[in-house]
Structure 1
Amino acid sequence: MPRLSSEGLIALVAAMLVRVGAEEAVAHQVASDLVEANLQGHDSHGMQLVPRYVANVEKGLITPNAVAQQVGGMGALALWDGGMGFGQVVGRQATAAGIAAAREHGLAGFGLRNTHHLGRIGAYAEMAVAEGLIGIFFVNAVSGVPFVAPFGGADGRMGTNPICIGIPKSPHPILLDFATSAIAVGKVKVAFNAGKPVPAGALVTHEGEASTDPAVIYGQGPRGALQPFGGHKGYGLALVCEILGGALTGGGTNQPATPNDRGIVNGMLGILLDPARLAESPAFAAEVDAISEHVMASAPGRVILPGEPERRARAERVAQGIPLDDVTWGDLSATATRLGLPEGEIRAALVG
């Protein structure tokens, strides 16, 4: 399994995106966010997506240099249209505007529609907590035939629909970022590429039988579906994401009348608030620290806070390089070759 440097991968992916029409700054932002996903251990949202991004630009499903445009709302509430630009760019633009509004009003909300894949939603929560704000995000995905079955169902009716909440805390924020499916669909693809099973309870066959075989989704036979996490609870949250991320923003939900042949299309509702407007800032920080220490003391070393696995993965991968399975690296390098990048430039990302 090859290992690659983050700097080398950013340069490689940025060069690939420039080849299909992205401006340098846009390409660098998208590449940096994709590599950051791999660094934090979320391989489902990293390099395995690059060939698909390139293909979607080539098909006209991504407008590479689009910027977010405000199309509605007023005051502390805004509605943005991403113009089917790269989500890592237009998502940051809408979130930055929401942060500025929250600074002014104490509380702000925004909707974002018509954007290509937003990537790791934790990136937007990280923007919020860096400014001392709490960030809450609900996202839906209309990206081809839906993958996630409702509780009790056997076929896909919804997207993986992530929820993310970031809370400021020193020295590291609390960052809760999860798909409402049992696992992200990208993790099923990573497992399929690596020839590994997925965790029990993650998949059902087209006949509704439990399975751990990623070929249920990516094989040649009748397609099964992802399960919601936590049974009816995850299903309920996924449905809420469809409504808040899709219906409320005007981006559409996974109901039959919504076109699902436009690539990876996301809608997002973001809520940003300044905790200092609700409580004395030192008291809030002290209370967050106290409850955090209290829960971790239940089993020191085993109970950790949301966001800690990502920090550990990042430290390890910065030091040792980012591991990519052979299929992902093969797809990435083959796409780079097809775009005309020299072999030396492609292999420069390899460690050792």
Structure 2
Amino acid sequence: MTETRFFTPEDLTGYAEAMFRSAGMSEADARLIAGDLVKANLRGVDSHGVSRIPMYLERLRRGLVNPRPEVKVTKVAGAVAHVDGDGGMGFVASEVAMTTACDLAGEMGIGLAGVHRSTHFGMGAAYALRAIERGYISLIFTNSSPAIPMWGGRTTFLGASPIAAGIPGGRHAPYVMDMAMTVIARGKIRLAAMKGDPIPEGLALDVEGNPTTDAAKAFEGVCLPFGGVKGSVLGTLMDLMSGVLTGANFGGEVKSLYFDHSGPQNVGHLFFAIRPDLFMSLTDFEARMDAYYERIKELPKAAGVEEIMMPGEPEQRREDQRRREGIPVTANVIRDLTAEGAGAGVAFPEGRAEPAAA
């Protein structure tokens, strides 16, 4: 098989759910994770989509991830809760934490949930979108395994540690931001390595500290922070707030999701939820968001730019398109998922050779 094929969200979700069920997860947790992975594919964040299933399953098989965690929530202050992920999938603990933060915000105006004993939680935007659906502003922090150097260092220390945020809109699109501290998401370098594609200069160093365009060498080496020292400083903040503050691993202690099978990761996350009507009525807030959106659309455009969009708007348009046409999955990912399915007695869907007609 050499070609990319196209799949419905339902087909990929069904396959993913069956695979996580085969690894001993509950039906509800398997469905949650499957939905979040396919949501990433729908939004064009393929680095955080179904291509990660074999890697997650490997950690479950090795006993590094608890397939049936008992996630515990402890209220530690009026608007603050501490969430113990019990070593389970980060998706599960994070769903509980974002829900808890929103519930607290409903009572107190603002809610904060800190998570420890978790693992990689997938696409950060998924949690911002959940908060938006409930009508809340959100901020989402996480730390992760070492991927970038501290500014001035030559070895990995800080994680790619993405930050995500969401602000509900009015009649127009909401604000949705999700970005790692690397110049490019490490998962995208991994995808390029899987496909044998080169990467542009300036994204990473190999294990010996040399600039490289070889994606495989880059993935084994050091990603570079975006904005130089600024990305390093923000990565430090993510580690301090998500790791030090929550009781999770920090400062280079988070084990690699890909290479280190010596023990659990103990990733930390932090979820903020804020009611948008704290300083004015919800109607006034939504009107101001609409005005902001409309001002963006009226800005003078740079040469070659057809439209200026709100952060998150391109991903929503891509999701709309992929829901119509199907989700493209490359041949190498299809091969890996087919092999995983064969081992568990789960058939990978056939898909289509061409996008569905609009």
TM over 0.5: yes
SS in 2 for 1:176: strand
Partner residue of 2:144? 141
Partner residue of 1:198? 199
Partner residue of 1:323? 328
Partner residue of 1:269? 270
Go from structure 1 to structure 2 and tell me whether the alpha carbon gap of 1:105 and 1:351 turns closer, same or farther (over 3 Å shift): farther
Partner residue of 1:177? 178
Go from structure 1 to structure 2 and tell me whether the alpha carbon gap of 1:351 and 1:105 turns closer, same or farther (over 3 Å shift): farther
* 1:37 pairs with 2:34: no
1:36: Cα distance to partner? 0.8
1:263: Cα distance to partner? 5.2
Go from structure 1 to structure 2 and tell me whether the alpha carbon gap of 1:263 and 1:214 turns closer, same or farther (over 3 Å shift): farther
User: 1:8 corresponds to which letter in structure 2?
Assistant: D
User: 1:241 corresponds to which letter in structure 2?
Assistant: M
User: 1:294 corresponds to which letter in structure 2?
Assistant: R
Partner residue of 2:225? 228
Give 1:68-87 correspondences, 5 Å limit: 68-71=71-74, 73-87=76-90
1:120-179 deviation line (CA, Å, top 9, x unaligned)? 11111111111221101111013xxx2212334332111110101100103321101111
Q: Does the CA contact (< 8 Å) of 2:150 and 2:158 recur in 1? A: yes
SS in 1 for 2:147: coil
Go from structure 1 to structure 2 and tell me whether the alpha carbon gap of 1:130 and 1:97 turns closer, same or farther (over 3 Å shift): same
Q: Does the CA contact (< 8 Å) of 1:80 and 1:110 recur in 2? A: yes
CA distance in 2, matches of 1:19, 1:259: 25
1:246: Cα distance to partner? 0.7
Q: Does the CA contact (< 8 Å) of 2:147 and 2:156 recur in 1? A: yes
**Which 10-residue stretch deviates more, 205-214 or 113-122?**
205-214
Partner residue of 1:346? 348
1:279-309 deviation line (CA, Å, top 9, x unaligned)? 2333322222223322332227432111012
Pick from 230, 244, 249 the counterpart of residue 247 of structure 1: 244
Go from structure 1 to structure 2 and tell me whether the alpha carbon gap of 1:65 and 1:229 turns closer, same or farther (over 3 Å shift): same
What is the root-mean-square deviation of aligned Cα atoms in Å? Answer: 1.9
Q: Does the CA contact (< 8 Å) of 2:13 and 2:34 recur in 1? A: yes
Structure 2: runs of 5+ lacking an equivalent: 257-261
User: 2:273 corresponds to which letter in structure 1?
Assistant: L
Partner residue of 1:46? 49
**Which 10-residue stretch deviates more, 192-201 or 121-130?**
192-201
Please identify runs of 4+ aligned residues in structure 1 that moved more than 4 A: 348-352
Query: May I ask how many residue pairs the two structures share in their alignment?
Result: 341
CA distance in 2, matches of 1:32, 1:259: 25
User: 2:33 corresponds to which letter in structure 1?
Assistant: V
SS in 2 for 1:244: helix
CA distance in 2, matches of 1:67, 1:197: 42
1:327: Cα distance to partner? 1.5
Length-normalised TM-score, structure 1: 0.91
Go from structure 1 to structure 2 and tell me whether the alpha carbon gap of 1:264 and 1:52 turns closer, same or farther (over 3 Å shift): farther
* 1:155 pairs with 2:158: no
Q: Does the CA contact (< 8 Å) of 1:321 and 1:351 recur in 2? A: no
Go from structure 1 to structure 2 and tell me whether the alpha carbon gap of 1:67 and 1:91 turns closer, same or farther (over 3 Å shift): farther
Pick from 21, 25, 34 the counterpart of residue 24 of structure 2: 21
CA distance in 2, matches of 1:46, 1:155: 28
Q: Does the CA contact (< 8 Å) of 2:106 and 2:275 recur in 1? A: yes
1:247-304 deviation line (CA, Å, top 9, x unaligned)? 1000011335x66643555311111111211223333222222233223322274321
SS in 2 for 1:147: strand
Go from structure 1 to structure 2 and tell me whether the alpha carbon gap of 1:264 and 1:230 turns closer, same or farther (over 3 Å shift): same
